[in-house]
Amino acid sequence: MLDEQDRSRWDRALIGEGQAIVRRCLRRNRPGPYQIQAAINAVHADAATAEQTDWPQILGLYDQLLAMAPTPVVALNRAVAVGEVHGPAVALALVDELDLGHYYAFHATRADLLRRLGRHSEAAVAYGRAATMAPTEAERDFLRLGGRGRS
């Protein structure tokens, strides 16, 4: 997970290069979905620690992305940002409106939100469902452990 990565190992030169490209694209004032996604990644990369992530800015970018590309997966990712800004209960209500039962990340996101709300038995079921659908063994193992080893 992004919040568990050792950001001191990130290649700051490559991040700077990518952020410069994003700024050049955004200065054209014709952002498309890829530029918005790149801007979201740039905001994540700007934070020296996960706790310093500018979630309100990320949420604003997801609002723009959802307007351009109104897909359920974008809505799911936006809900994650909503959870960071407004709390897991608000995010869970958004997630539960999505028709993504076939997508393992939907169940993993629900599981994390349920865990954060202290609804551990429901979270365990959702983690289990996500694990059965995950495409790689590493992801299945991670989810079987309740995403970060907590269930």
pLDDT digits (tens, 9 = 90+) for 72-84: 999 999 999 999 9
Last residue of a domain, one of 17, 45, 70: 70
Length of the chain measured in residues: 151
Chain center to CA of 135: 18
Tokens representing 33?
Answer: 């979905």
**What is the number of domains present in the chain?**
2
pLDDT digits (tens, 9 = 90+) for 38-95: 999 999 888 888 889 999 999 999 999 999 999 999 999 999 999 999 999 999 999 9
Q: Where a domain ends, among 36, 70, 104?
A: 70
Residues 96 and 61 in one domain: no
The answer to whether residues 151 and 122 belong to one domain is yes
Whether 87 and 119 map to the same domain: the answer is yes
Residue 62 and residue 80 in one domain: no
Q: Which residues contact 18 (CB under 8 A, 6 or more apart)?
A: 38, 41, 42, 45
* 24 and 92 part of one domain: no
Residue 132 sits in which domain range?
A: 71-151
Residue 119 tokens, joined: 């609804």
Mean pLDDT in residue range 116-125: 96
The pLDDT value given to residue 18: 80
Q: In sequence order, which residues have a C-beta less than 8 Å from that of residue 84 and are 6 or more positions away? A: 53, 55, 58, 59
Shared domain for 13 and 44, answered yes or no, is yes
42 lies in the same domain as 103: no
CA distance from start to end of the chain: 16
Lowest mean per-residue pLDDT among 24-33, 111-120, 121-130: 24-33
Instruction: Tell me whether residue 45 is in a domain.
Output: yes
Evaluate if residue 23 carries a pLDDT over 90. Answer: no
Contacts of 36 (CB under 8 A, 6+ apart): 61, 64, 65, 68
Of the pLDDT bands very low, low, confident and very high (cuts 50, 70, 90), residue 150 is: very low
- pLDDT higher than threshold 60 for residue 115: yes
Residue 132, domain member (yes or no): yes
The pLDDT of residue 11 is 79
